[in-house]
Amino acid sequence: MRAIDLPAGLGRVNPLNVAETCDWVLDAKPTTGSPHMLGNLNLHALYLTLEDGPVRTLTRSSDVVLIDGWPILQLARMSTTSDARPTTRERIGSSDWLIELIARDPAIRVVAVGGTPETAEKMKSYVTGRSSSLRWRAFDGYEFLERGAERGDEQDLIAALGAADLILVGLGMPRQEAWILDHLDRMNDRTVVANVGGCFDYFAGTQKLAPRWMGHLGLEWLFRLAHSPRRLAGRYLLEPVLLVRRLMQHRPPGSGAPAPADWKRATDA
């Protein structure tokens, strides 16, 4: 699979479009002893990968890292020759490939973790209204109880993780990455697990997606800021300044993150 190393040791990305991402998710995976991880890199994630923590650990150890955001696309384009530069088709967010996956309606078992109880239930309704073969189990990100089904307890989620073909975790950074790393031993080694941020809110209708033309122009952040100024002002207005400062203090390439298997041992120490 094609990979692009970003400048200054900022990580690696895989320029896949929507169809290629879905193909990778659905392809049979060899047994490796651990789940197959689908990561993504946007400006916020890049900021968090420059320090030790769950986002760095998960991103640096993912099998695939999608280009999620206009700034990351530009960094990737800077790192390649003109005839091999990725285009806006390879700049995709979690909602982009999930729309395609749901439309394909594969016969797979999906466990979705995240959102409020209302969001989890509405997301499941969105899926079941558009598919018949895809089996979707929705667990909220607060009580971790299954929604849209007979209520159970947290043990239902643990059992579901072991049987899932695809696990989607949308708890926000860095909480979702820490949760994935803490639950790896509950997942089977043929599962694909993806950190998907707040994309469940878009499907549930509690947040609006920016028009795609804004994304192509690198203005998607402006749309989100206008709709959630209090929540996102720090991320979009202050964090880029802090990112520049952190880049100036960035450790040289080769100072890697701990392997996922070592995460729990490191945090328990």
Q: Do 124 and 136 form a contact (C-beta atoms < 8 A)?
A: yes
Rounded Cα–Cα distance for residues 216 and 68 (Å): 12
Q: What is the mean pLDDT of residues 58-64?
A: 96
Mean pLDDT, range 10-22, rounded to an integer: 96
Instruction: Give every CB contact of residue 160 below 8 A, 6+ residues apart in sequence.
Output: 111, 137, 139, 146
Looking at residue 251, what is its pLDDT?
57
Q: How do residues 175-227 score in pLDDT, each as one tens digit?
A: 999 999 999 999 999 999 999 998 999 899 887 666 666 666 666 766 565 66
Long-range CB contacts for residues 48-56, cutoff 8 Å, separation at least 24? 48/173, 48/174, 49/10, 49/11, 50/10, 50/243, 50/246, 50/247, 50/250, 51/246, 52/257, 52/258, 53/174, 53/177, 54/174, 54/177, 54/178, 54/180, 54/181, 54/263, 55/173, 55/174, 55/177, 56/257
Q: What is the pLDDT of residue 210?
A: 64
Collect all residues with Cβ–Cβ distance below 8 Å to 61 and sequence separation of at least 6.
37, 257, 259, 260
- Calculate ∠ Cα 65-190-168, nearest 5°: 55
Q: Contact 1/14 with Cβ under 8 angstroms?
A: yes
pLDDT at 264: 58
What residues form DSSP beta bridges with 40?
66
Helix, strand, or coil here: 269?
Answer: coil
pLDDT at 54 over 80: yes
Distance of alpha carbon 191 from the chain centroid: 15
Mean pLDDT of 253-269: 58
Band of residue 249 on the pLDDT scale cut at 50, 70, 90: low
The 10s digit of each residue's pLDDT in 132-161 is 999 999 999 999 999 987 666 778 999 999
Identify the pLDDT of residue 23. Answer: 98
Give the per-residue pLDDT at 127: 97
Q: What is the pLDDT of residues 224-242, one digit of tens each?
A: 656 677 766 666 666 666 6
Whole-model pTM? Answer: 0.83
**Of 34, 101, 89, nearest to 62 (Cα)?**
34
pLDDT at 255: 47
Give yes or no for a contact between 111 and 166, defined as CB atoms under 8 angstroms apart: yes
Q: What is the pLDDT of residue 131?
A: 96
Q: In Å, what is the CA distance from 124 to each residue of 103, 173, 198, 204, 246?
A: 14, 22, 15, 8, 39
What are the residues whose beta carbons fall under 8 Å from the beta carbon of 77, sequence distance 6 or more?
85, 86
pLDDT band for position 266 (50/70/90)?
low
pLDDT tens profile 73-127 = 989 999 988 788 999 999 999 999 999 999 999 999 999 999 999 999 999 999 9
To 5 degrees, how large is the angle CA 8–CA 219–CA 58? 45
